Amino acid sequence: MSEVVTKPSSVDIEGAVAEFDRENKVIEGALQTLFAAYPSNTNPVHVLLKVTALNTLYSTQIPLYSSRVPTILDVVTHIVSLGIDSRLSRGDDGVVRDIAAVEVATKSPRFYYSFATKYCSWQNRDSYPIFDSRVLHYLCYLMVHNCLDRLRQAEFWDYTRFRGVVQGFRAKYDLEKFRLVAQRASACENLALGIWVSFL
């Protein structure tokens, strides 16, 4: 991999963002429209639309039907029950954990962490960086190349710690002007820099 991947500049990031936006304009626009139309999380119908769209378009793998694990409808009921709107607007890290931890009687509990980071990100794009397997892969790559402090993989599942790592990386490479959050990795699988753009 090139030096650009481990030491990105503003020009590198802007190029990757522009490429992603060109290739994903419709998907990103649909999600932006949906989350703007239904910003609160109190109406199960509105939350169902957001959860279903995000789960489908970002492949977060929450099943529609299952007798063994929590389903999309279980997640919707869970989110509505949390009363999270004011916490989301404040950028409260704990909301990610609360959304992710879904327990339903008679089913195995699940921790839908990637989904929760993406859901929070779309609710408050300036406060919540996303986490998924691509992001983890890139962060591990950065650690191997001494661009990040060594962390155990389990530490990335602590959202406060993860967000601190993202903010520290942005500060180290003078990338603060970029937002933390819009999902940018999906279309950039063959472009290592695109993995970093997941944080924007």
Please tell me the distance from the alpha carbon of residue 68 to that of residue 136, in angstroms, as a whole number: 27
8 to each of 29, 171, 193, how far by Cα in Å? 26, 12, 8
pLDDT in tens, the chain (200 residues): 344 355 666 776 677 777 777 887 898 899 999 999 999 999 999 999 999 999 999 999 999 999 999 999 999 999 999 999 999 999 999 999 999 999 999 999 999 999 999 999 999 988 888 888 878 887 787 788 777 777 787 888 999 998 888 777 777 777 666 654 333 433 333 333 444 454 44
Q: What is the pTM of this model?
A: 0.85
The contacts of residue 190 (CB under 8 Å, 6+ apart) are none
For residue 148, the model assigns a pLDDT of: 73
Domain ranges of the chain: 3-23+129-199, 29-123
Strands (E), the chain: 101-102, 110-111
pLDDT at 6 (0 to 100): 54
